[in-house]
A and B are shown apart, each in its own frame.
Chain A
């Protein structure tokens, strides 16, 4: 039962093959057995899940079911869930039982979905390996000595380990696409503003975007149909028509032009991975797409710009964690300054503190123009590169990551080495474009386990339907998305 996709579960529930309570119970049992190893969940909400499943079965019996009624899934622990711990994987929020639902969460509740719980992540979504979580690292199901990627590492590992068919996630600099690539699944980051950020704990508000983790592009389309909504409560949410993303999955891709940015196919990329990505692109050519080399000349400035904009916004956003209204408070504060400093010093982990400090420095008097303003200007140069490219091509493709999943502990002592992990994903967040990673091959790791390789598809603004169409067509022609880690097959 655990190998079923969201689309299959929806069909089976409609056909009466099994009930929502049955599949929910079966996945809860599987989580209990296997997640001791992976640590992908922070909180499992078994009782609530079974109550939701029972209500969904009753709704179906009454003839009121829709596509999502009774389908199980789980949320990244960055989305507020009313009455359920929402920790953002931080000690600071380890006692924060959210008093309301995020818009994304209430969208899934209203659609009749069953939430199995809250998934592990890097603390406040800051990281590329899920090692900064207060609740411990997550193991990559393909090789438990390796990281699942981050920050949405719990979402990716849970979907790859077949603990849930789909999960919500967020992407500020690659936090959906990089873990999706490391865990061999399909991850979609929509256009900035497509999915409401209300109730999604803010890291860098001008970059954060909620998205999907699934095994197939078809499932991602089903999830995005629920997630995408215009939300007046999020002032950056965009009021624009939302298509049925499942309706165009089978469109022909004949005649589409794929752009290959030369800056993303560098010599230092492993030859084996580069070959897998090129083979995947050849698959699209077989289906009638054309390929064109393009240039995104400001690519090298993306990581420097990001590490000003993201820390600056995080230092402002995280100032609300002050030990006064919610979250961790230190023992016996001597005065108000002591209360702030010790609550924050104790509540935040190392990486979060580093980023708050970089942000506070970049925004401080005398440095604003050199850092924040210059970064926002570079951001426009990066966006303009993409705008020019999309005059010539319909979609851009590249590797998602420069290397496959690395070993736990390999990059924890060097923050800058960790930052370079996101070299192919970060520019999209700065530009606000949609991107997707789909599994397109495997390379052999030393030690023998195969490790998945991700292909990144970059779309023009609000072109999620085209990315999903391309992903679905690729998954009709290949079976990389059906490969499972050896222990789980």
Chain B
């Protein structure tokens, strides 16, 4: 199925990706080709087939509700783009 340019802009917005306006056409072409490849899936009869999320159909393991990790905030924040007093800094969100 062919994607419209507005759909490409919408997907980029959903994915929080800045795409240059002059590249929208290239994305439109490539994403359409990929979706055409993927559309072969519709030829498969999957009536009554259980979707497979884990190759070994494993279930989530449970563990004791105990503290196992220590606080390493300062260590982890050394690689942050901007911090202040132990907080991550971002542009103002609430006016």
Contact = CB atoms under 8 A, between A and B. Distances in A.
Interface in B72-90: 72, 75-76, 78-82, 88, 90
B16 A358 contact: no
Given A192-B56, A339-B91, A419 B37 contact: yes
B41 A371 contact: yes
Interface in A364-381: 364, 370-371, 373-381
B37 A307 contact: yes
B79 A361 contact: no
Given A95-B79, A378-B46, A192 B16 contact: no
B63 to A, nearest CB: 7
A377 B49 contact: yes
Contact of A354 (B16, B30, B43, B49): B30
A95 B81 CA distance: 10
Contacts of A326: 79-81
B57 to A, nearest CB: 9
B56 A353 contact: no
Contacts of A235: 60-61
A324 interface: yes
B48 to A, nearest CB: 9
Nearest to A362: B38
A361 B3 CA distance: 11
Interface residues of B, number: 50
Interface in A2-60: none
Interface in A333-361: 333-342, 344-346, 348, 353-354, 356-361
Given A376-B51, A376-B52, A378-B41, A322 B34 contact: no
Contact of A360 (B11, B51, B79): B11
Sorting the interface of chain A by its residue count into under 10, 10 to 19, 20 to 34 or 35 or more gives 35 or more
A193 B43 CA distance: 31
B33 A357 contact: no
A336 B90 CA distance: 7
Contacts of B75: 99
Nearest to B81: A329
A324 B72 CA distance: 17
Interface string B53-71: 1111010110100000000
Given A193-B58, A379-B52, A415-B34, A374 B18 contact: no
Secondary structure at the B interface, as helix, strand, loop or mixed, is loop
A95 B93 CA distance: 26
**Which of B17, B35, B80 lies at the interface centre, i.e. has the most chain A CB atoms within 10 A of its CB?**
B17
Interface string B21-44: 000000100110111011111111
Nearest to B50: A380
A346 B20 CA distance: 10
Contacts of A303: 37
A416 interface: yes
B46 A377 contact: yes
Contacts of A344: 15-18
A97 interface: yes
B52 A383 contact: yes
A409 interface: no
A171 B11 CA distance: 28
Contacts of B42: 370, 374
A359 B11 CA distance: 9
A430 B41 CA distance: 14
A84 interface: no
26 contacts: A99-B76, A192-B55, A232-B61, A300-B40, A304-B38, A304-B39, A304-B40, A315-B15, A324-B81, A325-B80, A327-B81, A333-B90, A341-B16, A341-B18, A344-B18, A345-B17, A348-B17, A356-B17, A358-B38, A362-B38, A370-B42, A376-B52, A377-B46, A377-B50, A416-B33, A419-B37
Given A361-B31, A433-B55, 19 more contacts: A95-B79, A206-B53, A232-B63, A300-B40, A303-B37, A308-B38, A319-B16, A323-B81, A324-B80, A334-B91, A339-B90, A348-B17, A358-B38, A371-B41, A373-B51, A374-B42, A376-B51, A380-B49, A416-B34
